[in-house]
Chain A
């Protein structure tokens, strides 16, 4: 809708909302005027007053329906109806305390569960790992592309990722070599399934690792 039309439409909408009684009164008056003129015309045509009135109302084609259609034209019925529904909702809640208690408990339970699940998801999946430059942390592993030989049986587990059947444990000596020769990473660290660092390898990234170029 263009700005110029809003100049007419906005005051009308506000008036329909805020001066509802007045607007309704005017609707009544407007239609009553029409009906009265119709009655006059019918009387002038020679009908009896009572008959003239009935004919006029028939000609209006359902006075109440027309009024309702005029109210719909105001485009605020949705808002008015929603307010009425809300009021009705609050009234029913006040009337039935047991139902209200159940409803509130259901809501509280839902909200609580949601918060709990979210805090877990947030901690495990969304928030970064508690290391410096956590957004630059990646996991590396060795993988057998073909069938792993029978004598190499253990499979590696990636940091925060699922293990695939082809993954193997990185030998500590390999890790030392990787660490010494890598050019793509600032540093490398090993992770052991056991909680304690073993065989002299740190389970945490070393802070003395060279910074990336």
Chain B
């Protein structure tokens, strides 16, 4: 329910962590960023972003802070914690390994 079907399981977390590694963002900005950088290929429904954010926060990978946003209303800004940054590095390495292996298999020529 909380994960969009066309997103590989577990990759939403990785995307969120990566975007937050660039700079602290609020939920709305994260969703906009996701849409921009993926060129609309990765569709994350606006709602399902929040359970993922709250889960990451509870895990201690990201922390939240209320701050005025660009339209002067206060918004909840998330930023990467130190353990979160290490987690991101591990997950990025995992992802590179996994995706390389899968591309390799997919490109096998039939004999």
Contacts and interface: CB of A to CB of B under 8 A. Distances in A.
Interface residues of A, number: 33
Contacts of B75: 30, 33
Interface in B74-101: 74-76, 81-83
Interface residues of B, number: 30
A101 B74 CA distance: 55
Given A34-B46, A59-B45, A65 B1 contact: yes
Interface of B: 1-2, 26-28, 31, 45-48, 50-51, 54-55, 57-61, 63, 66, 69, 71, 73-76, 81-83
Given A2-B83, A33-B28, A61-B47, A69 B1 contact: yes
A-B pairs, 8 with minimum CB distance: A5-B60, A69-B51, A8-B60, A73-B54, A61-B47, A66-B47, A60-B47, A61-B45
A61 B28 contact: no
Contacts of A13: 58
A77 to B, nearest CB: 12
Given A33-B27, A34-B28, A74-B54, A66 B60 contact: no
Task: Give the interface SS of chain A, mostly helix, strand, loop or mixed.
Answer: helix
Given A4-B82, A34-B28, A73-B55, A9 B46 contact: no
B54 A70 contact: yes
Contact of A26 (B2, B63, B76, B82): B76
B58 to A, nearest CB: 5
Contacts of B74: 29
